[in-house]
Chain A
Amino acid sequence: MNRDVLVKLNYLLLAILLIGASLVIKHAENPERLIQGEWIEKEWRLEKDNATVVEESQMQSELKREILRNVEELHLGIWKFEEDGSLKSASSTQNDAIEWFIKGRGHVLELRRDGKTIESFQIQQISKTKLVLHLNFDLQVKGIIEIVLERKEQSDQYAKKV
């Protein structure tokens, strides 16, 4: 192929990448929109790689106690992500204003109270029905607390079926 044509194809490819990425961002499911609504906590799970069963049971309870102590206030039961950026809990006694923000490429959920960050989670998975959060200890390392939430309507429907 002619060199001039190849060069022009290069520029065309660059334009396609830019425009294509912008279009996908505009039309694809935005995590900020997807997260809005009510979610029910299904599971709080401690993930620990490379541990034997014995080690795991010995470490598990102590580690769990230590870590969960620090995130006690985040056991909201029902997580209600409002459109105005506030996070409410229907089942918790604390109803003080927690703000939520989606950061990064849409993979970080940051919670703030009175302008100060109280916690940030890595959004491991988000869909219309399921939200999986990893507690963010370090951006390069996988968090060790996994929180699994299900959308409230989905849970109610399943309960009705049963």
Chain B
Amino acid sequence: MLRKYSNHRTQSDNVKLGALTAFSAGMVNVASVTVFFAFTSNITGYYAVLAQEISKGNWYQGAVVLLWVTLFFLGSFLSNFVIIQGKGRWSQYISHAIPVILELLSILFVGIYLEFFYQNSLKETEILVGALLFAMGLQNGLTASISNSVVKTTHLTGLTTDLAILVSMFSKRENRHNKALVDKFHLLLSIMMSYVAGGLFGGIGYLYLQNGVFYLTCIILLIIALYDFYKIGRIRRIFEKRKKGVVMQIS
């Protein structure tokens, strides 16, 4: 899921990564709206809100939104920064896994803080939403970066636009048999449905698990981070078994 970069990635890699990250983003977004009355993957809306609050003279609210947007930007920036600076320094898998781990830590921080320290003050709300936006920025930056902008899991505006374009393209018979277009359609549809499923899961999950929803998101991110690690280990073990078999045959 995380090992390969850009054109070396297969459709399967992109679908797995897109679906799982979109699912986690949907969960976080709905949980955040339920707890904090603030979206964590709606940057388009926040630009509009920023303009609205400044025009109304609400400097405090405008500054809060500006801070949130900047933190999302910072998350995305950091994701790609780690990936490009990691080239040659450490393995591709490690440099792709670091943003996932950072995202996991941000969401874990929010979950733990909510569980043990949250006093429902406005300042705490702003900081926690900021942490979640930073995490979403990390996620969106990572998926867009390693998939060459094919996978963007919190950018549903663009996704819906692209889906609509593809559906209209399928009105022509020759496009229906174009593998690249069909693969893209499947990928975008998977991301959209995973996001909605994640949102449903997050909403229902919050009723029963409360702040445990954030821990559940961390588990999903851990699966994303460790999936390739497990795969690499499995391939290594198969390779060593075969090597032993060959050596025994020779002897």
Interface residues of chain B, those whose CB is within 8 Å of chain A, are: 33, 36-38, 49, 53, 56, 58-68, 70, 73-74, 77, 120-123, 125-126
Contacts and interface: CB of A to CB of B under 8 A. Distances in A.
Nearest to B38: A104
Which secondary structure dominates where chain A touches chain B? mixed
B104 to A, nearest CB: 23
A32 B123 CA distance: 9
B60 A103 contact: no
B60 A21 contact: no
Contact of B122 (A18, A21, A31, A120): A31
* Residue among B36, B37, B58, B125 with max Cβ neighbours from chain A (10 Å): B37
13 contacts: A17-B70, A21-B63, A21-B67, A28-B60, A28-B63, A29-B59, A31-B61, A31-B122, A32-B122, A32-B123, A85-B120, A103-B122, A105-B126
A21 B66 contact: yes
B67 A32 contact: no
List the 8 closest pairs (A to B, CB-CB), nearest first: A24-B63, A21-B67, A104-B37, A103-B37, A28-B60, A105-B64, A108-B37, A32-B122
A30 B59 CA distance: 10
A139 interface: yes
A102 interface: yes
B226 to A, nearest CB: 32
Interface in A49-108: 85, 101-108
Contacts of B120: 85, 101
A106 B60 contact: yes
A12 interface: no
Contacts, number: 74
A38 interface: no
A14 interface: yes
Contacts of B123: 32
A24 B37 contact: no
A25 B126 contact: yes
Given A14-B73, A22-B67, A28 B38 contact: no
Q: How large is the interface on A (under 10, 10 to 19, 20 to 34, 35 or more residues)?
A: 20 to 34
A28 B54 CA distance: 13
* Residue among A85, A105, A120 with max Cβ neighbours from chain B (10 Å): A105
Contact of A24 (B56, B59, B77, B121): B59
A106 B37 contact: no
Nearest to B64: A105
Contacts of B33: 139
Contacts of A139: 33, 37
Given A17-B70, A25-B126, A32 B63 contact: no
Interface string A23-37: 011001111100000
